[in-house]
Amino acid sequence: MKNLAVFASGTGTNFEAIAKACAEGVIDARVAVMVCDVPGAAVIAKAERYGVPTFVFAPKSYAGGKAAYEKEIVDLLDREKIDLVCLAGYMRIVGDVLLGAYGGRIINIHPSLLPAFRGAHAVEQAVAYGVKVYGITIHYVDAVLDGGKIIAQRAFEYDGNDPEEVHRIGQKIEHALYIETINKLISK
Ligand code: GAR
């Protein structure tokens, strides 16, 4: 059985969808660890509920910065024999240490049809622009923000101006697409 690591910074609905799919055998893998860079984030309690071990860290507490905490994360991923790292609302740029060790095995979900609307507020940017077709992208992570090779995309139409509604519609699509995509990747 394959070992997944899920990285998250906030609410963790994608984490929960993945953990539930693993627990129910919909994904033939286990979530071996949940990595979170925001102490107190809601995703931590969700991980505990699913019995998933957590590694929670405060980036600012590392004198050695990104290289130092990523070294700790790489050691953890090695120990847990992680096959695939799934970023699920991990709002931090992945650095050289993690990419050097796990590049090609790190994927991210992003709430826009990349390459449009990169960055932290993709849905708000898309609504402000007035687009009529929205979507979700899953891509490999490389050194460019939201820039790696695209693995999967799913679009939906929306003709309105309420970002919350777009988030609600997009979230359901994210969960389904992430589960499908993880299944495809781990069965390769
Ligand atoms: C998701 O919508 C994900 O696409 C987005 O953060 C949200 C996390 O939600 N990620 C990005 O914007 C990455 N650039 P969740 O904590 O409920 O899974």
- Residue 126, domain CATH: 3.40.50.170
pLDDT per position as a tens digit, 104-116? 999 999 999 999 9
Ligand 1 center from residue 176 Cα (angstroms): 14
Q: How far does CA 25 lie from the centroid of its chain?
A: 20
User: How much is the average pLDDT of 9-20?
Assistant: 98
**DSSP 8-class letter at 183:** H
Q: Which atom of ligand 1 is nearest to the CA of 13?
A: 17
- Of the pLDDT bands very low, low, confident and very high (cuts 50, 70, 90), residue 172 is very high
> Which pLDDT value is given to residue 123?
98
Ligand 1 center from residue 152 Cα (angstroms): 16
- The total number of residues written for the chain in this structure: 188
Query: Residue 158 and residue 135: Cα distance in Å, rounded?
Result: 10
> Which pLDDT value is given to residue 81?
98
For the chain, first and last CA: distance in Å? 13
> Which pLDDT value is given to residue 188?
79
Q: Catalytic annotation on 139?
A: no
Phi, psi of 4 (to 5 degrees): -105, 150
Residue 96: domain span? 2-186
Tell me how many domains the chain contains. Answer: 1
Give the number of C-alpha atoms closer than 13 A to the C-alpha of residue 61, restricted to the C-beta side: 6
- Of the pLDDT bands very low, low, confident and very high (cuts 50, 70, 90), residue 33 is very high
- Of the pLDDT bands very low, low, confident and very high (cuts 50, 70, 90), residue 86 is very high
Mutation test residue for ligand 1: of 13, 145, 172, the one with most atoms within 8 Å of CB? 13
> Which pLDDT value is given to residue 93?
94
User: How much is the average pLDDT of 78-88?
Assistant: 98
Ligand 1 center from residue 110 Cα (angstroms): 6
Residue 139 has pLDDT above 90, yes or no: yes
User: How much is the average pLDDT of 2-31?
Assistant: 98
Query: Residue 49 and residue 175: Cα distance in Å, rounded?
Result: 18
Q: Give percent of the chain above pLDDT 90.
A: 98
- Of the pLDDT bands very low, low, confident and very high (cuts 50, 70, 90), residue 138 is very high
Looking at every residue in the chain, the average pLDDT score rounds to: 97
Query: Residue 29 and residue 23: Cα distance in Å, rounded?
Result: 9
Residue nearest to atom 6 of ligand 1 (CA): 89
Q: How far does CA 35 lie from the centroid of its chain?
A: 10
3-state DSSP assignment of residue 68? helix
User: How much is the average pLDDT of 114-142?
Assistant: 97
> Which pLDDT value is given to residue 90?
97
